[in-house]
């Protein structure tokens, strides 16, 4: 017998392995700069974990999972993605009392699909999950992390960001009925998969890759026309903050996530350099996920990226430097918005920055002091109006106010 790798798998020889490892290392590095902590979950879970989170009508569950019965008679599934395992861990480890939480992860995933360039049956992902934050600024921070990583890898000029909103539950319920009314007369012309989805999960039809389906949905109603005032305000804040941070984006009204627990922001970083497999990083807000698994209502937002696809795009990687760690304590809403910009300035210096979103100002300062960091940066409307920032040195108790422009050379040692 002539041994070969199993179909859809590959060996990473030293040169390839080094590139994959460097990308993963940089991902860990940037996630830490944004205050995310690493989580490692099992490679397989009880099958129900993925059926509950991804839905029986999803392609992954319907066609692509590696599911088997172990010797004890339990149905287990190799993980096809990372979010479900983290949601399960949140529930089983009783982490609700520790919110908010920010996790990042890296590791192999498994899907039984037709192998092609940029798509394998065993592939590797990096990803982040931000739990417990209802603010649209959490969505923006996740996108800012993704953009910073792609910039650092030199890939930001090789892909572009597309965003959309799914609105809140009320908005989607109204839209769902209008979509069903539009598609029902066309049911017999839809692909078999989309005919099945029409009954249980019609929004997934908008994401169909079938050419005939794509043609049929061109004239369908737009979800944007059914958004509640709250949903419009949420989406508007995401777009305005991305613009403030100079992160370029395009709006794509066809970009969706079909499962009920997804809401508000969805996004993808897309390239034209990998053929049909153009998505290199994708994510969105999923406020209903943990609740759908029997846990407490918990807002969440996150993304995942394929290491193989990033490696395919990457031409050069830079060295990784040890960073300093500081915290930002916004004093009010103006300070919250400015915090993302200030944090970006510091992260460009390889300084790890944790923005303290939750709690009143006193609690934020107490939290900053308990984190064992050396400095906390205070931002409020007064500082913002004067383009200044107040810096407190916890080691000495000294506090000083400086122009924001001096942050590029301020010494935190």
pTM attached to this predicted model: 0.85
Stretch (H or E) spanning 335: helix 333-347
The Cβ of residue 305 has, within 10 Å, a number of other Cβ atoms equal to 25
Contact (CB, 8 A) for 101 and 131:
yes
The pLDDT value given to residue 201: 82
The pLDDT value given to residue 277: 66
Q: Residues 6 or more apart from 65 whose CB is under 8 A from it? A: 47, 50, 77, 78, 80, 110, 111, 112
| Residue spans of the chain under pLDDT 50 | 316-322
At 99-155, the pLDDT tens digits run 999 999 999 999 998 777 667 899 999 999 999 999 999 999 999 999 999 999 989
The pLDDT value given to residue 15: 83
Indicate if the alpha-carbon torsion angle 413, 37, 149, 357 is positive or negative.
negative
The pLDDT value given to residue 62: 57
Contact (CB, 8 A) for 12 and 22:
no
Q: Is the peptide bond before 100 cis (omega within 30 degrees of 0)?
A: yes
Location of structure tokens 């000294």: 398
Domains along the chain?
14-168+228-313 (3.30.930.10), 170-224 (no CATH), 324-408 (3.40.50.800)
The Cβ of residue 4 has, within 10 Å, a number of other Cβ atoms equal to 7
């Amino acid at each position: 017998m002539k041994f070969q790798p199993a179909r859809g798998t590959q060996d990473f020889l030293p040169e390839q392995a080094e590139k994959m490892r460097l990308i993963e290392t940089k991902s860990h590095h940037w996630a830490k700069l944004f205050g995310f902590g690493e989580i490692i979950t099992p490679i397989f879970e009880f099958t129900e974990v993925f059926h509950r989170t991804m839905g029986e009508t999803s392609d992954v569950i319907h066609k692509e999972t590696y599911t088997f019965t172990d010797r004890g008679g339990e149905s287990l599934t190799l993980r096809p993605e990372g979010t479900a395992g983290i949601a399960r861990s949140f529930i089983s480890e009783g982490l609700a009392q520790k919110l908010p939480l920010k996790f990042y992860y890296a590791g192999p995933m498994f899907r039984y699909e037709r192998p092609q360039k940029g798509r394998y049956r065993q592939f590797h992902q990096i990803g982040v999950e931000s739990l417990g934050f209802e603010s649209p600024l959490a969505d923006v921070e996740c996108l800012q992390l993704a953009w910073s990583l792609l910039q650092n890898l030199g890939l930001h000029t090789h892909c572009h960001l597309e965003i959309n909103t799914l609105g809140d539950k009320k908005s989607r319920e109204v839209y769902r009925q209008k979509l069903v009314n539009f598609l029902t007369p066309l049911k017999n012309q839809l692909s078999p998969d989309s005919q099945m989805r029409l009954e249980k999960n019609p929004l997934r039809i908008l994401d169909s890759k079938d050419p005939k389906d794509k043609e049929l949905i061109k004239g369908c109603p737009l979800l944007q026309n059914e958004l509640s005032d709250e949903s419009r305000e949420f989406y508007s804040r995401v777009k305005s903050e991305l613009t403030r941070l100079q992160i370029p984006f395009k709006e794509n009204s066809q970009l969706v996530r079909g499962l009920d627990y997804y809401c508000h922001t969805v996004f993808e970083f897309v390239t034209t350099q990998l053929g049909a497999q153009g998505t290199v990083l994708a994510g969105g807000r999923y406020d209903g996920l943990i609740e759908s698994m029997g846990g407490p209502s918990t807002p969440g937002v996150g993304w995942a990226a394929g290491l193989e696809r990033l490696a395919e795009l990457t031409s050069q990687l830079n060295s990784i430097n040890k960073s300093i760690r500081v915290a930002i304590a916004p004093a009010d809403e103006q300070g919250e918005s400015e915090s993302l910009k200030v944090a970006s300035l510091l992260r460009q210096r390889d300084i790890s920055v944790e923005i303290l979103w939750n709690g009143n100002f006193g609690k934020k300062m107490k939290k900053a002091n308990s984190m064992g960091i050396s400095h906390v940066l205070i931002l409020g409307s007064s500082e913002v109006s004067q383009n200044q920032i107040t810096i407190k040195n916890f080691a000495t108790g000294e506090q000083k106010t400086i122009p924001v422009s001096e942050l590029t050379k301020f010494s935190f040692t």
